[in-house]
Amino acid sequence: MRDRTSFLRPDLAQLAAYTPHPGGETPAIVDRLDTNESPLDLPTDIKSKLAWAYQEQIEANRYPDGSHQELKKAIAEYTTESANLNDSLNTDNISVGNGSDELIRSILIATCLGGNGSILVATPTFSMYAILAKTLGIPVVTIARDETDFSLDIAAAQQAIESTDNPPIKVVFVVHPNSPTGNVLADKELDWLKSLPENILVVVDEAYFEFSQTSIVGEIKQRNNWIILRTFSKAFRLAAHRVGYAIANPDIIRVLEKVRLPYNLPSFSQIAVSVVLQQRQLLLPLVQETIEERKRVYSVLQQNSHFQVWQSQANFLYLRLNNIDRNHQDSLLAKVTASLKAEGTLIRHTGGGLRITVGTPQESDRTLARLEKQVSLLINN
């Protein structure tokens, strides 16, 4: 039979795409605890402000503001304030993307495209760094993490940096705190990142900053080769609007602005971010509710002999089964994930474990009960 896709790159046939929510084929889903969204929708009064803004401020027949200047100004102000910086950030330090994914893609285009280099990631971690790199034909070098605390294997990382087996590593991606494991960068890891030469770009993803309240944004003015990524999809409850931002020195930002798509952020998304930033004194205190629920769920899981669960500084928890070898564990966890889905709960099977987003107390209670039931059935059988 004639190949009707012979014009496509053959390596893409082996690429596994990112798997989002299962969508409409599972109408019984009640608890969506697989994508680290906020369990809380925007308050009605904020939604009303957005509805008014769409009616009164947006001309649907016009392209959005492609410069993002007002939005960047508001983001720079928030970033400066939240990090208690003495030296304020400004619009030259900010680039805005259609989600952090677009910014990651822009970073890859600006650094490694065309055989110019490879990237380094430590697994388990956010899968989109490798997925996006592979879609662009960029080599991905992976190292393992310490299985006890999921810290970077610094010796392996340094060896990878010095190796001549691959195109030179141009970008190191780390998450602070890491997804799916929830651990923040330790001092020894930060010291290693600071020791890297300036011809290697360090990308620190702080998607969960509002939950950890731990940031290295204060390093940006001293680190010409560092970029920090953040998002409005988590604590600010704007996952539907797909807005991420990068913080870096102006030279890097200018290049990101060159390679991003024009009009990449819809007008409604830009207004949504402006409104939630104006209302941050209302929205952000409720992050503490998620933190308290995370502590409660952690305590319950820790007391269950079936599970090994790790402390987290994000809005999710990561666990594995006790006393089960890795190959058998993955098979069991796949069955657990499928069984929970059939009961109406979505969690994420990734990196050899289960990542469970912290939801409402009601969502947590249902998930904990279903998880205990399904794991007990599988282990006892």
Span 32-88, pLDDT tens digits? 999 999 999 999 999 999 999 999 999 999 999 999 999 999 999 999 999 888 889
Q: Do 267 and 334 lie in a common domain? A: no
Please identify, among 278, 302, 332, the residue that sits at the C-terminal boundary of a domain. 278
Q: Do 98 and 147 lie in a common domain? A: yes
Low-confidence ranges of the chain (pLDDT < 50): 23-24, 27
Assess if residue 207 is contained within a domain.
yes
Q: What is residue 182's predicted lDDT score, i.e. its pLDDT?
A: 97
Q: Do 84 and 191 lie in a common domain? A: yes
| CATH value at residue 188 | 3.40.640.10
Q: Do 271 and 297 lie in a common domain? A: no
For 23-153, where are the alpha helices, taking DSSP H only? 44-57, 69-82, 99-111, 128-135
Q: Do 104 and 239 lie in a common domain? A: yes
Q: What is residue 166's predicted lDDT score, i.e. its pLDDT?
A: 77
Q: What is residue 257's predicted lDDT score, i.e. its pLDDT?
A: 96
Contact 211, 178 (CB under 8 A): no
Strand 226-231: give its sheet, edge to edge: 94-97, 244-248, 226-231, 201-205, 169-175, 118-123, 140-144
Please identify, among 216, 248, 278, the residue that sits at the C-terminal boundary of a domain. 278
Assess if residue 44 is contained within a domain.
no
Number of domains in the chain: 2
φ, ψ for residue 216, nearest 5 deg: -115, 20
Q: Do 274 and 319 lie in a common domain? A: no
6-25 residue pLDDT tens? 777 887 877 777 777 654 45
Please identify, among 224, 248, 278, the residue that sits at the C-terminal boundary of a domain. 278
Q: What is residue 83's predicted lDDT score, i.e. its pLDDT?
A: 87
| CATH value at residue 25 | 3.90.1150.10
Q: Do 157 and 234 lie in a common domain? A: yes
Q: What is residue 161's predicted lDDT score, i.e. its pLDDT?
A: 95
Domain that holds residue 28: 10-36+285-380
Q: What is residue 10's predicted lDDT score, i.e. its pLDDT?
A: 80
Q: Do 159 and 250 lie in a common domain? A: yes
Assess if residue 374 is contained within a domain.
yes
Q: Do 218 and 238 lie in a common domain? A: yes
Assess if residue 45 is contained within a domain.
no
Q: 128 in helix, strand or coil?
A: helix
Contact 132, 109 (CB under 8 A): no
Gap between the Cα atoms of 169 and 281, Å rounded: 41
Q: Do 201 and 154 lie in a common domain? A: yes
Q: 155 in helix, strand or coil?
A: helix
Assess if residue 50 is contained within a domain.
no
Q: What is residue 24's predicted lDDT score, i.e. its pLDDT?
A: 46
